[in-house]
Amino acid sequence: MRRMNQPKSLVFDTPQAVARAAAVKLLELGREAIEQRGVFRVALAGGSTPKLMYGELAQQPEALDWSRVEVFFGDERTVPPDHPDSNYRLAFEHLLQHVPIPPDRVHRIPAERTDPHAAAAEYGTTLRRLFGAGHPWPQFDLILLGMGPDGHTASLFPDTSALTESTRWVAATWVPRLQTWRITLTFPAINAARQVLFAVTGADKADRLAQVFGLSPGGNDLPAARIRTNGGGVTWLIDRDASGGRIS
């Protein structure tokens, strides 16, 4: 059943099919951005489904003019770039090393810095330089996001300080449940994007997803439900398990 104001969604049989559809959408938006504005600015995500999607893109390096792509990251774990938990490392191993993107067009979060606030501030400065001073918020062509079983997205976790950030583009945030710092784009920075694409798979997400879609109560405060781009360009790609049979 589709409700009024329910986010735009597509449901697929398997995580691999979600990944394939996400890759197709990225290529489509990338070509369009390059044609219209000469550059495609995309923020990548960590997580299991993005990893599958990177594999899909890596198999067809000629499908996009990678020399005109600027790659960013929506969030990062506070580890060096060669650490197994690094989102940059995931993207590099599964995608970036397989496509002809100039290294200076890949803008990773310097999360190896000992002070996470300094790392966030440095990334904020990088974004302001690349998106042009004078813009209130960055305008990514596409931000890829996942959603955790607790409703977090990027590194915007429930009940954490980053959720109330209203001026910074990038924030450092302590996540008590994981006992770690994370660096993340903030809500206003994400919601200024032209398009946001969620890729969500697995039965452990079904209850939260039903809340985000307004099919059960309690969803309004979930971080993932607060992603509403100004232009309305949020699309959810979901596998059957995550849909719980309730989302079509």
The residues of the shown chain that bind ligand 6PG, judged by CB under 6 A, are: 45-49, 75, 87, 146-148, 152-154
With respect to ligand 6PG, which residue has the nearer C-beta, 32 or 85? 85
Which lies closer to ligand 6PG via its Cβ, residue 14 or residue 67?
Answer: 14
Residue 98 C-beta: closest distance to ligand 6PG, Å: 20
Least separation, in Å, of the C-beta of 187 and ligand 6PG?
Answer: 14
Least Å from the CB of residue 190 to ligand 6PG: 11
Residue closest to 170 by CA, chosen among 143, 197, 198, 151: 143
CB of 51 to ligand 6PG, least distance (A): 8
* Alpha carbon distance 14, 57 (integer Å): 17
Report the residue number, 68 or 147, with the smaller CB distance to ligand 6PG. 147
Q: Which residues contact 186 (CB under 8 A, 6 or more apart)?
A: 156, 162, 165, 166, 168, 169, 170, 171
Which residue is closest to ligand 6PG by CB? 146
Helix axes 48-58, 87-94, angle to 10 degrees: 30
Cβ distance to ligand 6PG smaller for residue 19 or 101: 19
Compute the least distance from the CB of residue 202 to ligand 6PG, in Å: 6
Between CA 136 and CA 128 the distance in angstroms is 9
Cα separation, 92 vs 90, whole angstroms: 5
Q: Which of 68, 162 has the CB closer to ligand 6PG?
A: 162
Instruction: Return the structure tokens found at 241.
Output: 């398990």
Tokens 């309305």 -> residue: 232
